[in-house]
C-alpha cells in the first residue's frame, strides 16, 4: 500500500515528452471483476531528475492477490502489480539504459521512478536469465517462484518419501511447488480445474492429479495419498482444503498461501479444522512471500539453477496488448491460465 503513495508522490504534472497509459480501478469489485471495474487513463510523465529513470513496460503481471488487495483502495486508484520493463532513459547509474528490470509499477505502460524515494517495493535489475525470456521475472523467476520456493521449503519442510498435496496445482505457484516436492523426493498430488491441466501436471512428474471440477476430491485423495498427507500447500481454501486437511498425518504441515476459492465469492462454510489440528498435532501457517524479501535473490537463483539443470519446467499464458490487461486478469481468475498469466505490452 505504501507503494502507491510513493509512486504518486513523484509522478508530477510537469510537461514531458512521454505519456503513460494506466489502468485505473474505476469501480469497487463485486463478485467477479468485469470490464466496468477498470478505466484507461493517460498521464504525462515528468522530466527526469537526478536519481530517476524512465521504464517502459514489456510484460505486466496479472495475479490473484490483486482481487482482494484492491478492495482496500478507493475507486480511482491506479491498479497495482508487478511488471518487467526496459529502462529507456536514466539519471540513476544503478538502472542503466537498456537494462531489464522488475518494478511494482502497476498496470501502466511507462513509469518514472526514483528507487531511493520508495520505502518498500524497490525495483531491481533482473539477474542474467541467459536465453530465457525476461517475462519469467514475473513468474518462475519472480514473486510466484519465490512463493513456491520459500513457502514450501520453509513452512512445509518436506522430507524424502513424504506425501505433498498442492491445490491450485496448475497455476504459477502450484505447478512450481509440485516440482520442488519431486526434487525433494516426495510423492506429489496436484489438484487442478481441468483434465488438460491435470495432463500437464503428469508431464511435470506429479504422481497423482485430481480434477476438482469432475471428481470427488475427498474420495480421490484417499486413493492418491494412501499413506495420508504430510504437507499441504494451500492455494485455494474452502471445501478442497477441508478434504485435504481431514487426511493429514500426525505432525503434518500446512502452508496457507492463498484462498482463491473465495476471492470473488462469499466464504463457504467448511468443517472447523481445529479438531484435526489438535489430534493430529498439525502446524498450519499463513504467509506472505514478502517475509523473505531479504533472501529474494537466493530464491531466484535457486529456481534458475533448477531450470538450467532441467529439473524445473514452466509455462506461461501470454495475452497480447496493454488494452487486454483487465481481460487477462478476469480470465486468470476463472482458470483460463496454465502456469503464469502475463500480458505482453
Ligand X SMILES: NC(=O)c1ccc[n+]([C@@H]2O[C@H](COP(=O)([O-])OP(=O)(O)OC[C@H]3O[C@@H](n4cnc5c(N)ncnc54)[C@H](OP(=O)(O)O)[C@@H]3O)[C@@H](O)[C@H]2O)c1
C-alpha–C-alpha distance, residues 230 and 80, integer Å = 36
Helix axes 296-308, 143-150, angle to 10 degrees: 90
Phi, psi torsion values for 305, nearest 5 degrees: -60, -45
Stretch that binds ligand X, among 4-12, 37-45, 57-65, 178-186 (CB under 6 A): 57-65
Does residue 65 belong to the site contacting ligand X (CB under 6 A)? yes
Q: In what order do the strands lie in the sheet with 19-25?
A: 38-44, 19-25, 77-78
Find cell 515528468 and name the residue.
46
DSSP result, 280-307 = TT-EEEE--GGGGGGGHHHHHHHHHHHH
DSSP 136: G
Q: Which is nearer to ligand X, 249 or 327 (CB)?
A: 327
Looking at residues 96 to 155 of the shown chain, list those that interact with ligand X (rule: CB under 6 A): 144, 147
Q: Which residue is nearest to ligand X (CB)?
A: 171
Contacting ligand X (CB under 6 A), which of 78, 82, 123, 168? 168
Number of residues counted as binding ligand X (CB under 6 A): 29
Looking at residues 179 to 208 of the shown chain, list those that interact with ligand X (rule: CB under 6 A): 192-194, 197
Does residue 335 belong to the site contacting ligand X (CB under 6 A)? yes
How far from 66 is each of 79, 136, 206, 326, 331, CA to CA, in Å?
A: 8, 19, 29, 11, 13
C-alpha–C-alpha distance, residues 216 and 56, integer Å = 47
Stretch that binds ligand X, among 71-79, 154-162, 257-265, 320-328 (CB under 6 A): 257-265
Does residue 51 belong to the site contacting ligand X (CB under 6 A)? no
Q: Taking CB under 6 A as the rule, which mask of x and - marks residues 272-301 in contact with ligand X? A: ---------------xxx------------
Q: What is the binding site for ligand X (CB under 6 A)?
A: 63-65, 144, 147, 168, 170-174, 192-194, 197, 235-236, 257-258, 260-261, 287-289, 332-333, 335, 337, 341
Amino acid at each position: 500500500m505504501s507503494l502507491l503513495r510513493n509512486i504518486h508522490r513523484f509522478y508530477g504534472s510537469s510537461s514531458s515528452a512521454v505519456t503513460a497509459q494506466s489502468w485505473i480501478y474505476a469501480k469497487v469489485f463485486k463478485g467477479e471483476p468485469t470490464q466496468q471495474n477498470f478505466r484507461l487513463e493517460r498521464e504525462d510523465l515528468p522530466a527526469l531528475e537526478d536519481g530517476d529513470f524512465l521504464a517502459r513496460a514489456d510484460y505486466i503481471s496479472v495475479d490473484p492477490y490483486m482481487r482482494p488487495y484492491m478492495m482496500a483502495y478507493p475507486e480511482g486508484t491506479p491498479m497495482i502489480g508487478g511488471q518487467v520493463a526496459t529502462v529507456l532513459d536514466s539519471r540513476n547509474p544503478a538502472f542503466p539504459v537498456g537494462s531489464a528490470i522488475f518494478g511494482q509499477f502497476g498496470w501502466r505502460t511507462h513509469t518514472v521512478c526514483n528507487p531511493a524515494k520508495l520505502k518498500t517495493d524497490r525495483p531491481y535489475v533482473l539477474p542474467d536469465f541467459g536465453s530465457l525470456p525476461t517475462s519469467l521475472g514475473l513468474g518462475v523467476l519472480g514473486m510466484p517462484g519465490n512463493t513456491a520456493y520459500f513457502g514450501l521449503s520453509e513452512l512445509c519442510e518436506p522430507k524424502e518419501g513424504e506425501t505433498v498435496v498442492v491445490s491450485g496445482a496448475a497455476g504459477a505457484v502450484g505447478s512450481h511447488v509440485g516440482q520442488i516436492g519431486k526434487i525433494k523426493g516426495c510423492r506429489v498430488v496436484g489438484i487442478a480445474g481441468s483434465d488438460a491441466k491435470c495432463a500437464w501436471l503428469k508431464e511435470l512428474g506429479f504422481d497423482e492429479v485430481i480434477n476438482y471440477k469432475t471428481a470427488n476430491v475427498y474420495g480421490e485423495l484417499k486413493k492418491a495419498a494412501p499413506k495420508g498427507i504430510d504437507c499441504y500447500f494451500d492455494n485455494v481454501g474452502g471445501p478442497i482444503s477441508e478434504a485435504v486437511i481431514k487426511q493429514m498425518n500426525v505432525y503434518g504441515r500446512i502452508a496457507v498461501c492463498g484462498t482463491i476459492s473465495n476471492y470473488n465469492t462469499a466464504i463457504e462454510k467448511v468443517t472447523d479444522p481445529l479438531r484435526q489440528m489438535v489430534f493430529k498435532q498439525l502446524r498450519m501457517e499463513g504467509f506472505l512471500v514478502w517475509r523473505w524479501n531479504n533472501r529474494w535473490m537466493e530464491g531466484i537463483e535457486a529456481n534458475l539453477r533448477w531450470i538450467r539443470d532441467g529439473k524445473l519446467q514452466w509455462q506461461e499464458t501470454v495475452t497480447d496488448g496493454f488494452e487486454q490487461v483487465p481481460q487477462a486478469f478476469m480470465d486468470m481468475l476463472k482458470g483460463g491460465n496454465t502456469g503464469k498469466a502475463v500480458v505482453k505490452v
